[in-house]
Amino acid sequence: MSKTDIRRAAVIGFPVAQSLSPLMHKYWMQQCGIEGDYEAIEVAPVDLADFVNQAKHGGLAGFNITVPHKTAILPLLDKIAPLAKQMGAVNTVKISEDGTLSGFNTDGIGLVKHLKTSVVAYGFDRPALILGAGGAARAAAIGLLTENVPLVMITNRTREKAETIAQDIGRGRMTVLDWDNRADAVAAAGLIVNTTTLGMIGEPPLALDLSSAANDTVVYDIVYKPLETDLLKAAHTRGLTTVDGLGMLVHQGAAAFKIWFGEEVGFDAGLKEKLEGALSC
Ligand code: ATR
C-alpha cells in the first residue's frame, strides 16, 4: 500500500448526509497538500460490524463516528484510548497499516481546545454548568475536569443520567441539580454549556433564566444548526459572552486529523466562511 492510498478517511453514521466533516477535512487536506479524500458513508446499525471488518484493510487511514454508533463500536475495536474508555464512546478510529483499529474520543478535547484558543473570558477557574447528560455532556464534563475546573454542576431532564455521569467521573467535583431548578446554578457558573438538543432547528428552545448570571459568564451552545440559538440570543441580550457550536465541531475534527495525518490544523477564516456557507443553505 502506498502512502497516498492511506490518505483517505471517512465519517460513518445513520443518517450521515448532514455531516459537515467532509467539507472540513477536505479543506484541511488541501491546505496541508495532502492528496486524499474524505467521504460520508451511511452505515445502518446492523451493518456496523461488517463495515468495521472491511475497513481494516480498505485503504482508510481512519474514520469518524457519529450517531448512533459511538458506543456500539467499542467492542469492535482492538485498542481504546483511556479518555474514550472513560467516555464510553469513540468518535475517531485510526487504522494502522496492519489493520489494528484504535479508538479515540476527541469531543472533550475539542471543547477545551476551543475554549483555550478562542474564549479568553473563561479561565477554567470558576464552576461550570452543563445542561444535558448524553455523550456530549459526558465529553464536556471530562474535558473540564481534566482542566481542573473547581466544580462541574450538571442538570438533565432525566436526573438519573446526570447522576450516573457524576458518579462515573465526578470524584467529588460534580454536583447534580434538578432540571426544574437549573436557573439556581446560573449565578455561580463562569461557564454554561448546553449539550442538549434543545434549540436545534425543529426542537423547542432551551429556556434558561440568565438574570442572575455574573457579567463575565460565558454561554456556550454546542448546537450549530442554527448558529445563533435562542439561548445565545438571550445571553447576548444580557451582555454575556456567547460561543456557538462550530468551534467544538472544528476542534474535535482537528484532533482527529492530527491522529490520522500528524498535521496540526485549526479554525481559520477560510474554514469558518465555508462552514457558515454550508449551514446557511
Ligand atoms: P448526545 O449523545 O449527542 O449528547 P443524546 O444522548 O441524544 O445526545 O442527549 C440529548 C440530550 O438532550 C439529553 O440530555 C436529553 O435529555 P434526556 O436525557 O432527559 O432525554 C436532552 N433533551 C432532549 N430533548 C429534551 C427536552 N425536550 N427537554 C429537555 N432535555 C431534552
- Of 163, 165, 192, which Cα lies nearest the Cα of 178? 163
What is the number of the ligand 1 atom nearest to the C-alpha of 179?
29
- Is 85 labeled as catalytic in the residue annotation? no
pLDDT of residue 3: 44
CA of 80 to the centre of ligand 1 (A): 26
Pocket of ligand 1 (CB under 6 A): 132-137, 156-158, 161, 195-198, 204
Q: Which of 115-119, 132-136, 171-175, 248-252 has the lowest mean pLDDT?
A: 115-119
105 C-beta neighbours (distance < 10 Å), count: 30
pLDDT of residue 118: 81
> Average pLDDT, whole number, for the chain?
94
Span between the terminal Cα atoms of the chain, in Å: 39
Grid coordinates belonging to 3: 502512502
pLDDT over threshold 50, residue 268: yes
pLDDT of residue 113: 86
Where does the pLDDT of residue 74 fall: very low under 50, low under 70, confident under 90, or very high at 90 and above? Answer: very high
pTM for this predicted structure: 0.91
Q: Closest residue (by CA) to atom 21 of ligand 1?
A: 196
pLDDT of residue 93: 98
Where does the pLDDT of residue 256 fall: very low under 50, low under 70, confident under 90, or very high at 90 and above? Answer: very high
CB 255, CB 248: distance < 8 Å: no
What is the number of the ligand 1 atom nearest to the C-alpha of 137?
4
pLDDT over threshold 90, residue 9: yes
Question: How much is the average pLDDT of 72-91?
Answer: 95
